[in-house]
A and B are shown apart, each in its own frame.
Chain A
Amino acid sequence: MPPSPCALCKVNRALILRPKDHSKLCRPCFLSTFEAEIHHTITSSRLFERGERIAIGASGGKDSTVLASVLKTLNERYDYGVELILLSIDEGIRGYRDDSLETVKRNAQQYGMPLEILGYDELYGWTMDQVVEQVGKRGNCTYCGVFRRQALDRGAAKLGVKHVVTGHNADDVAETVLMNLLRGDLPRLSRTTSIVTSTPSLSADGAGKNTNIKRSKPLKYTYEKEIVLYAHHKNLDYFSTECIYSPEAFRGSARALIKNLERVRPSAILDVVRSGEDMAKLVPGSDEGCGGVCASAVPAGEEEEGGCGSANGRSSGGEMATMEDQLSQNEAAKANGLEVEITSSKIKKSEAPLPLTVGKSRKVPKASQPRKEPKKQVMGQCKKCGYLSSQEICKACVLLEGLNKNRPKNHIEVGYEQEKDVNGATEAMKQLDVGAG
């Protein structure tokens, strides 16, 4: 094939084929286009405010590394006037974070940003290794995922930072859209498609006082492929690993489906993201009318943070198990005629039927089974930790309760004094223990 010239400068040889529009770009034109599009997302969604302190959820992986690099570039180029810091979470899996935390430390130097590393032990009183010791290797991804979901907010609250940006990319968002459609979880669809969400979390200073943590995804419309290419062509220093506890999590996942769709038609990824946004607008009571841009950001609540390890918004097999619960909410939506409306107006017949194979087979409750009343999802705050939750006690606290209850008795007695002041959550769990015992 003869080399093609760049579609923008018409001079250099094209090296990049853009998935969203098939344009062919040279290296410098690709880098500047990539940055300009993220700048556009930031300004058109008014993500940042001058003077804001912003924590970048940093794992040392490609997404957060590219996010940190691009935000530094844009903050200087366009004078956003924001203060950027790196915030890393250490799950406490022996050896697992060593290299990635080293990468984040190098990034902190390379980008001249302060770095804070907070461990699950500091945030929850349990390292993942301790969780695995307790519950075994199967199912621990649920813990990892639920803890991860709150970790950045809890961490930010601890640091007194009110805005956390994450490296969720278009592929991540498209995956969660598909997962929520497969589950039939329309309320969550709304939350996961918004570019800005907000979450009450326990603030650092006040005992029991809550602070709202804003979350945003500046890379929401950015293809994973282009993130990897940007990192490559800019020679960024990032780290790749797979979660040692779930090497098989990828197989048969919605993620695999997304990548197959991309191979057939690359624009499918952004199409899924946009469709997700459109459908979210139809969800009753959704704040999505403004496209998630308006001041009253959608509560982040139980946003899918993915199962495990290094992944951002990646699904894991275990999550499919919650599908059954969600089916009852489906019923409510059906009663409103919502499902019919979406089917007829928003989903075109696909050109080719794609096998929607996802890890586990979808369990449909038998008609004879008594159905739970479809419960209205009202976002409140967890009574234990203050984190936003649709239940009285948030998932993390429920999991912690189970963990702490089963902690070997002598361990609790011996460990009580030392652990007493680890943090509020642990303390709260102790009280739960007493009550339950």
Chain B
Amino acid sequence: MELRDTPEEASFRGDLRTWLEENVPAELRGHRGGAARFDGPEMRAWSRALYDAGYAGLTWPEEYGGGGAPYTHQAIFLEEIARAEAPPHIGVIGLGMAGPTIMAYGTEEHKARYLAPILSAEEIWCQGFSEPGAGSDLAGVRTSSRLEDGHFVVDGQKVWSSFAHLSDWCILLTRSDPESTRHAGLTYLIVNMHAPGVEVRPLTQITGEAEFNEIFFTGVRVPADNLLGEVGGGWQVAMTTLLHERGTLGFALQAALEMQVRKLIALARDRGADQLQRDRIAREWIEMQAVRFTNYRSLSALMKTGLPGPEGSISKLVWSEANQRVTKLALEILGPDAALADDNAPYGGYWQYQQLRSRGNTIEAGTSEVLRSIVAERVLGLPKSR
């Protein structure tokens, strides 16, 4: 057990800290995220700067533009990003889901074609899994794909697809065998969002902005080569994606929480907090440290045994609920000003936006109910409910 940096980790951290101090644009510090980050060119430029400095895809193989670094570097990177209140790389779905899935199931051609543009933020990805009839129960997917003279022809509808309106590519889960039900007969495709027959309709969400979308596919022709895994083997590939969505993302979420708690403390110093609020602030700081060290445990197990520790499965669940509490506590500290929004609100409406956005945290990437069932069944070994 050694929680301090090794000399090599310390030098990586030191260089990174200096680099962040010199390179994070002031207007992006503490950025509230969401779809607004795509409005101007700044965030893409920032992501590109991360890439050029070698900080995008730290753990990805060097041959695909990554850093070939151990996971600990990624952990240090995210800690330092939080400390500097720097925004993360813009390619959330590409980095966290599409990229790792392509590395696991893609051909050499796929890896050479798709991975580097994710890191350089030249291409943005979205995830087309959920459908009107398939949410928590993803095996209910009905969007169809038929193999026809060298192409999959795709018809159907996806929903809640984050950033689809800005995306170049989609990882799409389809049903290729119309006779099949549930987990069999699914096929996982890479779909060009600019292809004819793809129509994206933004959905305005609780925050007033449109971050997620409906996607309609009408006779969209997808080259047969854009297949990940086997025809009919899409479920297995999708599980890899979800594993990364909920797992690898753990450290990113921890960094987000660390930044949120820092801001909460700064807010309380700025505006004052009563005794009961101080107790809750201390609780949230404790919870944040607990998530952080739980991730360290899981990560250390991964480095030693190749498998992340089971405790890692609680990260997303705990983070989402912590973020909801932290943002609500911030509104309480703001007092009557909490009713104001956007530019009329203190801090440009950061907390009002964050609080509303946080309600999605317990729904996206697996609802808390689904995640609790996963902990109960896969970690505790309780009998299966489904």
Q: Do A and B bind each other?
A: no
